[in-house]
Structure 1
Amino acid sequence: MKEKNAWVINGFLGLLLMLAVDALGLVLLMNEYILLGIVLLVASAPLLSAITVVQPNQAMVVTFFGSYAGTIRKSGLWMTVPFSVRKKVSLRVRNFNSAKLKVNDIEGNPIEIAAVVVFRVIDSAKATFDVDNYEQFVEIQSETALRHVANKYPYDTFDSNGYSLRGNSEEVAAELSRELQERLSVAGVEVMEARLTHLAYSTEIASAMLQRQQATAIIAARSKIVEGAVGMVQLAIAQLQQEGVIELDEERKAAMINNLLVAIVSDRSANPVINTGSLY
């Protein structure tokens, strides 16, 4: 099915035409042209069934004895095909909030995910005739696409390689919108935006994954601290040797490096032990 324009004329003009036919029929009846007057009065009655009102941002799908006659998109009062059946289709922008779905990511971890889909109807004929109920179709296909996208990515990447649901929300939203548009084009629906509104590990593994994230963060922080500490120790030894403050042999240099690294890398304040000299 493809949307086309229905035959219409201005509704006020149609009402005037109907009143003119009725008036002419009454005049003929009064002038003893009974048969012709009755024919005109009977012919004007179907015109009343052709009057329809279209609201702003609304389409009126017109069918005539099972055949698609077209769609009225312009708002106002119109006269269309008599004895036709007309169905309203909203063209307004609407939201669909999916329920929280429990799915597995690409690594098999159970997660909870939900999304909001912003859409509108752009082809009233497809939305009416190609699917049974386009609103229900949008809901089911949105949840199906969300499950499929969630299965393609991990919840998080601990090595910072590749996309993840948590770290690449913009890319995931674009992928979800693209897949939704492919699924919903058959219903004449345009997907304007699709974004994740909820993302979390399932309760049965949430605590374990939290510990894993904390351990990863601690390891990353320790690596930065050690890297900085090594640089500081190298700078301190080089500066002492350059200024000739003290001459260090390899054993004392190793002891100094050990003490500096312990003092810098330790997660607690260092408590120095002061050597005041030997008793002998």
Structure 2
Amino acid sequence: MENKEITFSGTVLNGLAMLVLSLIALLGSIGLIIFACVTDNGSCAAAYATTGIVMLIVDIIIMCGFVLIEPGEARVMMFFGKYRGTFTKPGYHWVNPFISVKKLSLRARNLDAEPIKVNDKAGNPVMIGMVLVWKLKDTYKAMFDIDSQTMAQSKPGEVTIGTTAAGIMNSLEQFVKIQADAALRQVAGQYAYDDGEENGSAMTLRDGSDEINKELEEKIDERLAMAGIEVVEARINYLAYAPEIAAVMLRRQQATAIIAAREKIVEGAVSMVKLALDKLSTDGVVELDEDKKAAMVSNMLVVLCSDENAQPVVNAGTLNH
């Protein structure tokens, strides 16, 4: 999108110098008014009083032109409703007092969004939250392309603060929150929570963090570009199944883990049985026919794969009386 922001090119004077001049003018105007009150010459008193009053009025108008800008701040300058540019030079300045000045912050702001409930690609309800870092990039779009001055809604009985500097930034933060929430729902709905049987080897919310965070950042950046807002970073910081299915999904995960462990145990047991049979045959310890090998394999697998400790039965032979 086209950048509509321009740099303010109007008259800017040193604020400290103008402050000294305005104080001198203020003292001079007060002195003239006092002198007019104590003098006995009527015509001179009227002239001194008129001059003093005019100087005082002009001085009050001049004092309305002082602008203090800190690093990371900007002033949107408007002259009778017309945008004249954005002023960002830090310092104490004096500008045309008839220019309307709107204060904005260019500093990075952090949004820690509360987890929201969304449906993943498989239709499972999940709770997902994110953290977002953003800052203003184009002050013109922030001020005039969206309704930032009246978008901040006050509570019943409170004064609306949408036209103040804090109110404008709060309204922009609310705009960011709503758009980021919509982007998060869109991205979360494109992926499954984990790699269930129906998902295969596709990327999931749980294991595709870097790619998904990058896509989330791009989606939010697209939505906030209209407001002149730049996304510095966006990432998912909370991910869990919704409470109503959390217990069921936990049991499914436990079953998957148990099956994987059983497969590993069986694989190891078969290897040990094969090693034992090969060792007995190579060393000639005992000759086993196929039936005895089968019985030995069965017994060893039961011992090695059982959850309980084996209780051996010792064959002591036949008792002769």
TM-score (norm 1): 0.86
Contact 1:145 1:180 in 2 (8 A): yes
Counterparts of residues 138-157 of structure 1 (less than 5 Å): 138-157=176-195
| Helix, strand or coil at the partner of 2:114 | coil
Contact 1:131 1:137 in 2 (8 A): no
Within 1, Cα distance between the matches of 2:94 and 2:54? 21
| Deviation, structure 1 residue 56 | 2.8
CA deviation map 1:134-183 (0-9, x unaligned): 22210111111111111111111135722222223333222212211121
Aligned residue number for residue 82 of structure 1 = 97
Within 1, Cα distance between the matches of 2:242 and 2:56? 72
Which of the residues 14, 21, 27 maps onto 2:18?
Answer: 14
Contact 1:52 1:80 in 2 (8 A): yes
Aligned residue number for residue 135 of structure 1 = 173
Within 2, Cα distance between the matches of 1:67 and 1:222? 75
Contact 1:158 1:216 in 2 (8 A): no
Which of the residues 43, 51, 69 maps onto 2:66?
Answer: 51
Contact 1:112 1:201 in 2 (8 A): yes
Aligned residue number for residue 153 of structure 2 = none
| Helix, strand or coil at the partner of 1:165 | coil
Within 2, Cα distance between the matches of 1:243 and 1:98? 69
Moved more, 237-246 or 37-46: 37-46
Contact 1:64 1:81 in 2 (8 A): no
| Deviation, structure 1 residue 264 | 0.8
Which of the residues 138, 156, 168 maps onto 1:123?
Answer: 138
Aligned residue number for residue 105 of structure 1 = 120
| Helix, strand or coil at the partner of 1:86 | strand
Residue 146 of structure 1 aligns with an amino acid whose one-letter code is: L
| Helix, strand or coil at the partner of 1:98 | strand
CA deviation map 1:230-262 (0-9, x unaligned): 111112211221222222211111111111111
Within 1, Cα distance between the matches of 2:302 and 2:286? 21
The CA RMSD over aligned residues, in Å, is 3.1
Contact 2:5 2:86 in 1 (8 A): no
Within 1, Cα distance between the matches of 2:56 and 2:271? 102
Aligned: 1:169 with 2:209: yes
Unaligned runs of 5+ in 2: 31-44, 149-171
| Deviation, structure 1 residue 131 | 1.8
Which of the residues 56, 70, 85 maps onto 1:70?
Answer: 85
Unaligned runs of 5+ in 1: none
| Deviation, structure 1 residue 71 | 1.3
Contact 2:130 2:238 in 1 (8 A): yes
Moved more, 151-160 or 238-247: 151-160
| Deviation, structure 1 residue 37 | 10
TM-score (norm 2): 0.76
Which of the residues 4, 7, 10 maps onto 1:4?
Answer: 7
Residue 5 of structure 1 aligns with an amino acid whose one-letter code is: F
Contact 1:6 1:62 in 2 (8 A): no
Aligned: 1:197 with 2:237: yes
Aligned length: 279
Aligned residue number for residue 263 of structure 1 = 303
Change (3 A) 1:250 1:14: same
